[in-house]
Structure 1
C-alpha cells in the first residue's frame, strides 16, 4: 500500500477484470500489471476488481497477481456481474475510502506508459483546479505489436484521426466532445480526481458506458487537460476488434446500445450545464441535434444504415432548424423520403 507520507496526490489504478477461461485474458492482465510495476513514480496502488468471473480458478490466479505486486494491489469483488463500469465504480469507492485522491482507469488488457503516474501527479500538483487529464492512445495487437493505422477498423481509425485534432483543454468543452469528437478519451486514458469519479459514476449498462460518463464529467464544468507523450497502449486483436464489440456479439446491437447509452449521458450533461447556467435550452437542443447527426453518420459508416437514419430522424425531431442547417441534402432526403434499407 502507498505509505501515509506518499499519499499526497497518490494515484489509484482501477482495473476491472472478467475471466471466462480464455487464456489471453490472463496474459493481457499480467502485461497490464507489469506496465504499472514499471512506473517511474512509485506513488500508486492497484485496485483490481473481479466482475464475478465464471472461471473457477480465477481466485487462485488473482492471488498470484497480488504476489506480483506485494502490498501494492487490493483484490475486490463485485456482488454481481454487471460490466466494467460497475466494477470501476467499486474500485473508485474503495480507493477514495483509502484516501487516494487521483484515479487512473486502466482496462485489464491495456498498458500504462511508464511515465503516467509521474506526469499526471505533476499536472494535478501544478494546477489545483484541474479535475481531469487524458492521454493519447497507441494501438497494439494481441502480440503487443503496433497497428498500421490503415488496417484499423473504421471506429478505431476515427479515434486515431481525432487524436490529430487540437486538444481540448479548460472548462465547458462538453459541446465540442458531443458534436466534433467520437471519443476524446477511452477509459484507459482517463485520470481524474476521485471526487469527480464518485459524483459521476459509470451507468449500469454494459456497452458505451465510457463516453456516456465522459459527457457527464465534462458537463459538470470540470477543468480538463491533455498529457502529451504518455500514450496508453490499447489492445486491439487482429480478429474481432475491441473486446466490447466482441462481447456484444452483434454490431447492430452494439451500435444501438451505443446510441441509447451515449445519448443518455449527453442529456444528463446538458441538464447539468443548464442547472449551472452554462447553457440554455436552445443551445442544448442544438447540441443534441448535432450529436445525433454525428452519431447517425458514424453508425451508418459502420454499415448500420437503418439505425443511422433513425438517428437522423431523431435529430430532426429535436431541432428542425439546426438539422436543416447541418444535415446534407442526402441526409435530408433520407429523413423525409423514407427509410433506407440496410
Structure 2
C-alpha cells in the first residue's frame, strides 16, 4: 500500500502524547509539529497516539491539529494509559498498515532538526542492510534556549559527554552500548525500519523503556549507524525538573525502576545474542556484570548512592573475575564479597 504522502520511502514520525492539563503540553506539541513543517524534505507524516489523556478537550485539540498541520497526521487513541512505549507500539502498527517502511521517533516536547527527514532517507537509501540509525541531541530548555553544559544535571551531562565517543556502526554493537554508554540515543533521536520496530516492540515498562528496547534492538543483531549533522532538540526544563522523575515518585524511585527495567532489557538482549550464536553465556555474564558496574556509578552520581552500591554488590556476586578487572580499587574495597552458595 503506498504511503499517505504519496512516496514509498517517506518517514513516519511516531509521537506519543499524554495530556494531564498543564498548558505547556499543548504548547510544546505545537512546537514539535512546527519543527516537522520546517523539514527541507516534504516526504514525512505523523502518527500520534493519545495515551488516554485525562485532560478535557484533548480529542478535539488533537483533531484540530491534525486538520491544520501541513503534512499527513493520523491521531490514534490508546484504550488505557499504558505509557509512551505502548503508545509508540500502536503508532508503529498503524504506520506499518499504511505501508511505511521508515520510522522516526519524536516525543511531544522535542524538536526535529530541519534536515532530519532528508538525512534519514538518504542514509537508509545508501545502506540497504541498515536497520537502525541514531542522531545526536542538543539540550534545550522550556523556552528553546540551549543549555550550558556545566549546568546540566549529572546524568544529562554524562549523556552529553558520551555523545563524543566514537559512533557505533555495524552489527553486534550491543556490548559497547551496554558497558560503555549510558545511552546512545533518547527515543527522539531514533530512526529505524518498521520491520525492526515490529519485531522488537517497546516493553510495557512505564519508565526507561527506551534503553531497554535499544538493548533489545542491538541484541537482535540489527545493523546500526549514526546520522551526522541533525541533532534533535531535547527539551529539559530549567524549572520543575524531570517529569519522569516526578511521575515515578522521585529520583530514587525512578532510578530503581531504571535499574530493573534496563537490566530486564539487557538480559533479553543477551539471551537473544546467545541463541543466535553471536555470544556465549560466559560473555553474556561478563557484559551484564560490566553493565551493573556502569549503572551503579550512574545512579550514584544521580543521587542514589545506596542503590548504586547494591548494583556493584550484584556485579561482584555475578562475576567476581570480571568485577575485579573492571571495578576501581575503591569499588573493590567498598563492595563486600557475597559467599558462594553451598
Instruction: Tell me which interval the TM-score lies in, with the shorter structure as reference length.
Output: over 0.9
Is residue 203 of structure 2 the alignment partner of residue 203 of structure 1? yes
Partner Cα separation in structure 2 for residue 85 and residue 72 of structure 1: 22
Partner Cα separation in structure 2 for residue 204 and residue 94 of structure 1: 18
The equivalent of 2:11 in structure 1 is: 11
Instruction: After TM superposition, list the pairs within 5 Å mapping 1:318-333 onto structure 2.
Output: 318-333=318-333
Is residue 294 of structure 2 the alignment partner of residue 283 of structure 1? no
How much has 1:246 moved relative to structure 2?
Answer: 2.8
Partner Cα separation in structure 2 for residue 19 and residue 66 of structure 1: 16
Partner Cα separation in structure 1 for residue 108 and residue 120 of structure 2: 20
Segment of structure 1 superposing worse, 181-190 or 53-62: 53-62
Q: Is the 8 A contact 2:85 2:204 kept in 1?
A: yes
Instruction: After TM superposition, list the pairs within 5 Å mapping 1:127-276 onto structure 2.
Output: 127-276=127-276
How much has 1:3 moved relative to structure 2?
Answer: 4.5
Partner Cα separation in structure 1 for residue 203 and residue 312 of structure 2: 25
Partner Cα separation in structure 2 for residue 83 and residue 278 of structure 1: 32
Segment of structure 1 superposing worse, 238-247 or 51-60: 238-247
How much has 1:329 moved relative to structure 2?
Answer: 2.3
Q: Is the 8 A contact 2:37 2:70 kept in 1?
A: no
Q: Is the 8 A contact 2:46 2:71 kept in 1?
A: no
Taking a change above 3 Å as real, the CA distance of residues 51 and 89 of structure 1, as seen in their structure-2 partners, is same
Partner Cα separation in structure 2 for residue 127 and residue 208 of structure 1: 29
Q: Which runs of 5+ in 2 are unaligned?
A: none
Q: Is the 8 A contact 1:153 1:241 kept in 2?
A: no
Q: Would you say how many aligned residue pairs link Structure 1 and Structure 2? A: 337
Q: Is the 8 A contact 1:2 1:72 kept in 2?
A: no
- Residue aligned with 2:185, SS: coil
Alpha-carbon RMSD across the aligned residues, in angstroms, is 1.4
The equivalent of 1:24 in structure 2 is: 24
Partner Cα separation in structure 1 for residue 224 and residue 324 of structure 2: 32
- Residue aligned with 1:205, SS: coil
Taking a change above 3 Å as real, the CA distance of residues 34 and 153 of structure 1, as seen in their structure-2 partners, is same
The equivalent of 1:72 in structure 2 is: 72
Q: Is the 8 A contact 1:32 1:109 kept in 2?
A: yes
- Residue aligned with 1:40, SS: coil
Partner Cα separation in structure 2 for residue 4 and residue 115 of structure 1: 18
